[in-house]
Amino acid sequence: MKPNLRCSILKGMALLAIITQLPLAQAQTKPPQETDEQKQARMAWWTEARFGMFIHWGLYAQAARHEWVKNRERITDADYQKYFEVFNPDLYNPREWARVARQAGMRYFVITTKHHEGFCLWDSKVTDYKATKTPYGKDLIKPMVEAFRAEGLRVGFYYSLIDWHHPDYPPDRVHPMRDNKAFREKAKNRDMRKYVDYMEKQLRELLTQFGPVDCLFLDFSFPGNDGKGRDDWQSERLLRVIRELQPKCIINDRLDLLDQPGGWDFRTPEQFMPRGWVTVDGKRVPWETCQTFSGSWGYHRDETTWTSVEQLVVMLIETVSKGGNLLLNVGPTARGTFDQRALDRLNGIGQWMRFHSRSLYGCTAAPNEFKKPDHCLLTYNPKTRRLYLHVLVWPMGKLHLDGFAGKIKYAQLLNDASEVRFAAQKGAWMDDRQASADTLTLDLPVQKPAVTVPVIELFLKP
Ligand code: GLC
């Protein structure tokens, strides 16, 4: 920017600050605003994609009993160090991961560049607590980014605001040393501002050294007593840096800036299925639910509550039927591989996606006039004007669709493009409840198609 242009912008901001009685610093730190249309355009690839892979990987993969192990077991830095000293994922081959993700139908990935334990997977210049200083000795992020991009996936970085290792990070109520009086006493002069400088430097590295970062998942704020929120993280400052370096980047909602316009791009319901499209002040907003296979994000050897392929496919469909995205997590092992349980599920999802992804990519909730029948989920592609009826429980021969009569031009099973015949139905024998003129009845094969969840594609009349 030319110096005199810059100068007049600054003058303008100062004037604005005086007029609006805002302190100058605050006026300067407001994130750039955009219209709803601009935001929609910026997020278009993400809304279209609908399905991504979360990857939680760090030293905790070796403990193999949850990524919060340091916190849960109140492990000291000294005791946690053993994981750093042996970390050596010798089988790590990100091209394999990327292929598995693509074949599962995922269109973007989000990797924990640093989780709460503070360990960095890339070669950060501002710490030695990183992969390059372990026996493995190499950067893990660059090859991962390259591999996933080569498979056509967009790139997302998770970055933990919380840091249980950094020497300037003041302990709080979710810190592993929360109850350790001696630790707290020693840490009482820790300077949060220095830690924020560190975060800013790391974010600058992440946002300048790996090409376009399509989305960023910052984790997480817990304001209030003995917690941390926007003032501690200096959230607006971080946000400004991010928007400056990567204006297109899509950012989650955990900076504690929920009430601020432009303070977040999408909501992140975690490990639960929202009852409907997520709203803020009554308005539908972009949202992404992040989910695990079994409860833990990091690799967990002994966890047994793994969901089935069918549950996961239904979860994905249900998410899109409510206008959201699904970020499904894998916790790779410390050898650098996806374990068999994860592979089985990703494969199963992929087999279904091969024939049915059309009912999800670019799709969203069905228009209000179309109500889902019992045991079904509906999605809709506004561009092609096709409705997708996901049949969770296969009925006996007929499927009645109230309110659909006269609106459908053609119907087919998605898995094999075989025609599904239909007629306006006057009610079955001894039952004229369906006799309403707006009911359309599909004529289905008695046998359920041999796919996890059959989908009927309905072409709307123009
Ligand atoms: C949580 C957890 C965490 C996980 C994340 C995923 O906030 O602290 O371990 O990374 O959510 O959304």
Residue 336 CA, ligand 1 centroid: distance in Å: 20
- Provide CB contacts within 8 A for 148, sequence distance 6+: 94, 97, 98, 101, 109, 155
- Ligand 1 pocket test: pick from 270, 272, 289 the residue with the most ligand atoms within 8 Å of its Cβ: 270
CATH of the domain at 192: 3.20.20.80
Distance CA 56, CA 71 (A): 16
State which ligand 1 atom lies nearest to the alpha carbon of 56. 10
Q: What is the mean pLDDT of the chain?
A: 93
Q: Is 346 a domain residue? A: yes
- Provide CB contacts within 8 A for 334, sequence distance 6+: 61, 62, 64, 87, 88, 89, 299
Model confidence at 233, in pLDDT bands (50, 70, 90)? Answer: very high
Positive or negative: CA dihedral 101, 294, 112, 339: negative
State which ligand 1 atom lies nearest to the alpha carbon of 220. 7
C-beta of 297 in contact with ligand 1 (< 6 A): yes
Distance CA 139, CA 125 (A): 12
State which ligand 1 atom lies nearest to the alpha carbon of 115. 10
> Is the distance from CB of 52 to CB of 328 less than 8 angstroms?
yes
Residue 56 CA, ligand 1 centroid: distance in Å: 9
C-beta of 253 in contact with ligand 1 (< 6 A): no
> Is the distance from CB of 55 to CB of 61 less than 8 angstroms?
no
Q: Is 388 a domain residue? A: yes
- Provide CB contacts within 8 A for 302, sequence distance 6+: 64, 65
C-beta of 67 in contact with ligand 1 (< 6 A): yes
> Among 229-233, 259-263, 340-344, whose mean pLDDT is lowest?
259-263
C-beta of 269 in contact with ligand 1 (< 6 A): no
Residue 239 CA, ligand 1 centroid: distance in Å: 20
**Which of 296, 330, 358 is where one domain is finished?**
358
pLDDT in tens, 332-354: 999 999 999 999 999 999 999 99
C-beta atoms surrounding 13 within 10 Å: 15
Mean pLDDT of 190-194: 98
pLDDT at position 437: 76
397 and 344 in one domain?
no
Q: Above 50 in pLDDT, residue 179?
A: yes
Residue 187 CA, ligand 1 centroid: distance in Å: 25
C-beta of 220 in contact with ligand 1 (< 6 A): yes
Instruction: Round to the nearest angstrom and report the end-to-end CA distance of the chain.
Output: 51
- Provide CB contacts within 8 A for 390, sequence distance 6+: 314, 317, 321, 359, 376, 377, 378, 379, 453, 454, 455
Residue 380 CA, ligand 1 centroid: distance in Å: 31
pLDDT at position 210: 98
Give me the helices (H) in 403-450, please: none
382 and 317 in one domain?
no
Q: Above 60 in pLDDT, residue 422?
A: yes
The total domain count for the chain is 2
Mean pLDDT of 176-188: 98
Nearest CA to ligand 1 atom 5: 219
Residue 354 CA, ligand 1 centroid: distance in Å: 30
pLDDT in tens, 295-328: 999 999 999 999 999 999 999 999 999 999 999 9
pLDDT at position 408: 97
Q: Is 366 a domain residue? A: no
C-beta of 290 in contact with ligand 1 (< 6 A): yes
pLDDT at position 20: 40
> Is the distance from CB of 325 to CB of 319 less than 8 angstroms?
yes
State which ligand 1 atom lies nearest to the alpha carbon of 67. 9
280 and 389 in one domain?
no
The structure tokens listed for 145 are 């980014």
Q: What percent of the chain has pLDDT over 90?
A: 89
Sheet of strand 376-381, all strands in order from the earlier edge strand to the far edge: 364-365, 376-381, 386-391, 455-460, 408-413
Nearest CA to ligand 1 atom 3: 297
CA of 120: how far to CAs of 111, 113, 215, in Å?
11, 6, 18
Q: Above 70 in pLDDT, residue 15?
A: no
Q: What percent of the chain has pLDDT over 70?
A: 90
> Among 75-84, 146-155, 305-314, 431-440, whose mean pLDDT is lowest?
431-440
Distance CA 174, CA 171 (A): 8
Q: Is 259 a domain residue? A: yes
317 and 193 in one domain?
yes
Distance CA 304, CA 308 (A): 12
Packing angle of the helix pair 94-103, 141-150 (nearest 10 deg): 40
Model confidence at 288, in pLDDT bands (50, 70, 90)? Answer: very high
349 and 388 in one domain?
no
Range of the domain at 412: 376-460
Nearest CA to ligand 1 atom 4: 297
Residue 57 CA, ligand 1 centroid: distance in Å: 12
C-beta of 270 in contact with ligand 1 (< 6 A): yes
Distance CA 219, CA 112 (A): 10
168 and 59 in one domain?
yes
Model confidence at 27, in pLDDT bands (50, 70, 90)? Answer: very low
Mean pLDDT of 183-191: 98
The structure tokens listed for 400 are 């009645």
C-beta of 278 in contact with ligand 1 (< 6 A): no
318 and 396 in one domain?
no
